[in-house]
Amino acid sequence: MRVLLLGANGYLGRFVADRLLADPAVQLTALGRGDDADVRFDLSTGSPGALTRFLDAVHPGVVINCAGAIRGTASELARHNTVATATLCESLRRSGCRARLVQIGCAAEYGPSQHGSSIAEDAVARPGGPYGVSKLAATELVLGSGLDAIVLRVFSPTGPGTPAGSPLGRLADSLRRAMQHGDSELKLGGLGVQRDFVDVRDVARAVHAATLSAAQGVVNIGTGHAVRLREAAAALARISGFGGTLLELEGPPPLPRQATGGELPGGPPQAAPYPDGCGAWQQADVRTARDRLGWRARIGFEESLADIWMEAACRM
């Protein structure tokens, strides 16, 4: 099976590539903006005609779209997430390869949900920020394209390679700095938020399963279990060997300095809402993934946290 992977150098894409390369039945071609891609192509600015010609030449059986952006202005997010997906869908429609499309969506498309509920794929999507809006628009383009396509709505990916700017990445980095400086107290905010954290290696397994499945439409990828950031912080402290005290501040975590430009007039960086626009609670209903892909998460949250800490500790 020839597979074309877009976004192979991103956080999810790297693990998807590793998973596919471990399958001897897969011939993998990576397309992207970086120099280490097999073929250089910017999906957000490239023309559908150029990509169509490439698809007809390579003739993949499956195209996986892990490309996109999670930060930036609304226009940047729209360009990298929505316009790029429109280009891909148009190219696939024009191409004679008839490839199956596996699109990586995200739980931010759903927006806030009721505490204690599990979000199923038929829930009304009401994204709470520009990132979720741009990804939901991409999903709608895929679902309306007429292609053989599946959208995997990934909840909160974690584990090795977790970006330092993510909530768990920031927790690990805060612990690292506290231990380096010998602090006996660590003040943290925003710990009341609960998210469905799924290991990135399990996500890669789900993508692989989707390439082999005939399932179409939207499929949630999560664990089906929400974890409070307060519990994650305590577990990370235990894993790291931090002997100090965790002090929980009122309200959400502060914006990093690079997001505010440093000190604001009148005081320190201001507090910002949890960045995904999904409110205080999010948990996946994962029955569709089990029934239609034969997939469920295998890697426990503690193992994911241990891998996050291992990478943070290497920077000490």
pLDDT number for residue 155: 98
**Architecture, CATH, for domain 2-158+198-224+282-298:** 3-Layer(aba) Sandwich (3.40)
pLDDT at 34: 81
Contact 107, 155 (CB under 8 A): yes
Q: What is the CA radius of gyration of the chain?
A: 20
Q: What is the value of pTM for the model shown? A: 0.91
∠ CA 296-200-128, rounded to 5°:
90
- pLDDT reported for residue 32: 86
For residue 193 the two structure tokens come to 């938020």
The values of phi and psi at residue 220, to 5°, are -75, 140
- Quick one: pLDDT at residue 256? 44
pLDDT value at position 260?
32
Contacts for 191 with CB less than 8 Å, ≥ 6 apart = 228, 229, 230, 233, 248
Spatial CA neighbour of 131 closest among 86, 71, 51, 173: 71
**CA–CA–CA angle 278, 83, 39 (5° rounding):** 110
For 211-237, what is each residue's pLDDT tens digit?
999 999 999 999 999 999 999 999 999
Q: Report the relative pairing of strands 194-195 and 227-228 from DSSP bridges.
A: antiparallel
Averaged over successive runs of 10 residues, the pLDDT of the chain (316 residues) comes to 95 96 97 86 93 96 96 96 98 97 98 96 96 98 98 97 90 94 93 96 98 98 97 96 91 45 33 68 98 98 97 84
